[in-house]
A and B are shown apart, each in its own frame.
Chain A
Amino acid sequence: MHNSKLKSIYLSLLVAFIFLLFPWSGLALKLRPDFMLLVIIFWLLRAPNQCNVGTAWFVGLCVDLATGGTFGQYALAYTVTAFFAVIYQRRLVLFNATQQLVYVFLLLLISQIVLLILKTFAGTESPDWGYFLPSLTGTLLWQIAVTLGLNTGRLSRGS
């Protein structure tokens, strides 16, 4: 059972990575949700024994490689996000659907804010509010996945 879970973790991360590598451009690029972060948040909440802050860091490093930015930017953003995801993971079973959605939105926002701070230090100019759109689309994607029957750990009290 452990093995199959690990396998599905790797597989889902790989699929998310290929999604990230799609040739996005224009509006789609602006709206593109952070697939990798969504998958890692899902597994952090669903399988905290297999996935931890370190996993998120490694995934962030892969994203850094794909985006071609400075190494460590996404890694740090994902690490911080994963930390907040993990410390509230046990409380999550008490959350209802809406609360969970807000929680995921906040997590996505945290990663974007960390990234924004890092980029500001690196000297890029501050983007407009459209920068935070991927958090919204990410939350939307999460909701779609939940509606389609993905168990996001809310009912995992018994398992």
Chain B
Amino acid sequence: MVRGFHQNLEQQQAPAFFARGPSPFARLVFFAALSLALMATDSRLKYLTTVRENLMVLLHPLQVIANSPSRLYNYAGEYFSTHHYLLNENERLKKQSLQQQITLQRLKTLTLENANLRDLLQANKSMTERSTLGEIVHVGRDSFSKKVVVNRGSNHQIIAGAAVVDATGVIGQVTRTYPSSSEVTLITDKSLAIPVQLERNGLRAIAFGHGRDNTLDLPYLPANVDIKRGDKLVTSGIDGIYPVGLAVATVAEIKSTPDSPFARIVCVPTGGIENHRQVLLVSIPQTEIPVNEEKSAVDKKKPAKPANSQPARQGASTPARPQQPVEQAVVNTANKPPVNVTSKPHAQ
């Protein structure tokens, strides 16, 4: 009888109130270990890239839903924009278009002339980059990194590493691609560096993102460097990623501290990092093997192009067919031999 009661008790399940499975601490240890393993896998090994891409496809409809209110708001705003405003804008755009047409014509003749000269010298052909117009879908959700998400992805032949520019200058680089969107790390992100050149004297440097307050740093430049407030920085193109001569930043502040041999130089990006929606994704130029090394050195006389960011405007005029990227010629010195880098007499 008593035995039977005991058996009965053993068979009985604990009341639902206590049925909680493993203790919270056991769960904590298990899931924390799992998270740490995931972190290690994701940051050190590259196995999870495809997993992430596939999951992002699942996420896409939710993203569309989440974006719809703001899109609706924008649409309504456009719909109710006043007659006066539209007239003003029309006039402004016409003026801008005229100005750009003039520069464009000059560019065409210059490109032709350049090609001819290059032919004469049998130098390397200047490289052409494909570019695609994209739109910023949303700003990155991680407050620690400066990233935006653009609505063009691997379906539109975007590959990681492509430069991203807008009408006023470079804004960043594609760091991760998903099927229908891609993640752009802005130049103000701490992990991004961009090779630049001073427009005034051709001084080469590397600009690093500051990370926090939308500025760029120019570290490793000596305290007596020839640099002034207001100097313009343009891409130097020696990285083979960014086209030459795109505006990057303006020098805002120069501090030389007595305890450091380097000057502390703070620059403000030219590109509308926080306020533009349309951006141009410029694919990485095809690197050619230099045929004739000494001939290509002739190019070093070519002055840095003014920072009028032709490619951005050129591409922005054809938003109707984004899947057929705009072919355009941008002179790039990326395939120059490294000799060229040091042969600038006025670099230091």
Q: Give chain A's interface residues, CB within 8 Å of chain B.
A: 17-26, 29-30, 48-49, 52-54, 56-57, 60-61, 65-73, 75-76, 79-80, 82-83, 86-87, 118-119, 122, 124-125, 127-128, 131
Q: When the two chains form their complex, are residues A122 and B43 in contact, meaning their CB atoms are under 8 A apart?
A: yes
What's the Cα separation between A9 and B48 when bound, in Å? 28
**Which residues of B come within 8 Å of A, CB atoms?**
16, 19-21, 24-25, 27-28, 31-32, 34-39, 41-43, 48, 52, 55-56, 59, 62-63, 65-67, 69-70, 137-145, 147, 149, 176, 183, 190, 211-212, 274
B66 in contact with A70 (CB, 8 Å): no
Q: 11 extra interchain contacts, Cβ-Cβ under 8 A, other than A22-B66, A57-B35? A: A19-B66, A21-B138, A22-B138, A23-B70, A49-B20, A65-B59, A72-B38, A79-B27, A125-B211, A125-B212, A127-B144
Q: Provide the bound-state CA to CA distance between A67 and B147, in Å.
A: 10
CB pair B141–A67 under 8 Å, yes or no, is yes
A24 with B31: CB separation less than 8 A: no
Residues of A within 8 A of B65 (CB): 18, 21
Q: Is the CB of B140 within 8 A of A67?
A: yes
CB pair A26 B59 closer than 8 Å: no
Complex-state Cα separation, A72 to B56, whole angstroms: 16
**Considering only CB atoms, which chain A residue lies closest to B40 in the complex?**
A72
12 contacts between A and B (CB under 8 A): A23-B67, A23-B137, A24-B141, A25-B138, A56-B31, A57-B35, A65-B52, A66-B141, A68-B140, A76-B39, A83-B24, A127-B144
Min distance, Cβ B189 to any Cβ of chain A, angstroms: 9
Q: Which residues of chain B have C-beta atoms less than 8 A from A124's C-beta?
A: 144-145, 190, 211
- Provide the residues of chain A in CB contact with B25, threshold 8 Å: 83, 87
Are A68 and B62 also in contact (CB < 8 A) when A24-B138, A122-B43, A125-B190 are? no
